[in-house]
């Protein structure tokens, strides 16, 4: 049986994204732009399904339990003509945890955590923020989730979880996966053939 295809969406822009604050397991509401990005992802998926002769209802739908991912998923599903809240959530799709850094902006971190930030830049994959988790830790839970995927799925989660998938699929070495740009308002396709970007 062929490995399922993942249609992956990063949540739309949030208030904290605009402010440059680390979110991690904390949450922030979608901006007007973020809501438009979520709607756009629904349109992209609708076009992909039409192109491939697929019914949107044939996929599984799963999101991170964090509010920004759920809000995005519900807008995506509404755009596809599906019941907005009829999807699953999985804790293993939560964003990378930044521990005591969550809610802080980079200028504040540069002022108070200069040495730790330097260590993170040296080894972004292996670095663990105080009270948080590393990308290596994140990969463990994303891999555990991925083993449960049984059919083509629309997944709404975070930049960090997408980077873990980049490493899991062997699309880039781990050091490069940790700095891979994951845009909002686009759809990524993950498969054994690699990663595609739509939109």
pTM of the predicted model as reported, rounded to 2 decimal places = 0.96
Domains and CATH numbers, the chain: 6-198 (3.40.50.1240)
DSSP state for residue 86 in the 8-state scheme: -
DSSP state at residue 48: H
Token duo for residue 64: 């991170």
Averaged pLDDT, 153-182: 98
What is the percent of the chain where pLDDT is above 90? Answer: 93
156 confidence band (pLDDT: 50, 70, 90): very high
User: How far, in Å, CA of 165 to CA of 186, rounded?
Assistant: 16
| pLDDT for residue 1 is more than 70 | no
Cβ-proximal residues to 124 (8 Å cutoff; 6+ apart), any chain:
135, 175, 178, 179
Task: Say whether pLDDT at 117 is over 70.
Answer: yes
Dihedral angle over CA of 25, 109, 136, 15, nearest 10: 30
Q: What is the pLDDT of residue 108?
A: 87
Indicate the DSSP class of residue 150: -
Per-residue pLDDT reduced to its tens digit, 52-108? 999 999 999 999 999 999 999 999 999 999 999 999 999 999 999 999 999 999 888
pLDDT at res. 20: 94
> Which tens digit of pLDDT belongs to each residue from 177-196?
999 999 999 999 999 999 99
Residue 159 pLDDT more than 70? yes
SS3 167: helix
Arithmetic mean of pLDDT over the chain: 96
Interaxial angle between packed helices 135-146 and 159-168, expressed in degrees from 0 to 180 and rounded to the nearest 10: 70
Strand 187-191 and strand 194-198: pairing? antiparallel
Catalytic residues: 11, 95
């Amino acid at each position: 049986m062929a490995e399922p295809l993942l249609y992956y969406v990063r949540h739309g822009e949030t208030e904290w994204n605009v402010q440059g604050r680390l979110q991690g397991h904390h949450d922030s509401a979608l901006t007007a732009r973020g809501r438009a990005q979520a709607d756009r992802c629904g349109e992209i998926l609708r076009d992909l399904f039409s192109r491939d002769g697929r019914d949107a209802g044939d996929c599984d739908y799963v999101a991170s339990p964090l509010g920004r991912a759920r809000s995005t998923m519900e807008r995506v599903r509404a755009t596809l003509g599906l019941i907005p809240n009829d999807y699953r959530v999985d804790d293993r799709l939560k964003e990378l945890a930044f521990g005591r850094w969550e809610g802080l902006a980079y200028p504040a971190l540069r002022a108070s955590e200069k040495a730790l930030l330097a260590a993170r830049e040296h080894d972004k994959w292996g670095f663990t923020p105080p009270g948080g988790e590393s990308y290596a830790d994140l990969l463990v839970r994303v891999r555990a989730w991925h083993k449960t995927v049984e059919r083509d799925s629309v997944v709404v989660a975070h930049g960090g979880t997408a980077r873990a998938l980049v490493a899991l699929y062997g699309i880039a070495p781990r050091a490069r996966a940790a700095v891979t740009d994951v845009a909002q308002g686009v759809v990524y396709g993950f498969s054994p053939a690699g990663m595609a970007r739509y939109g």
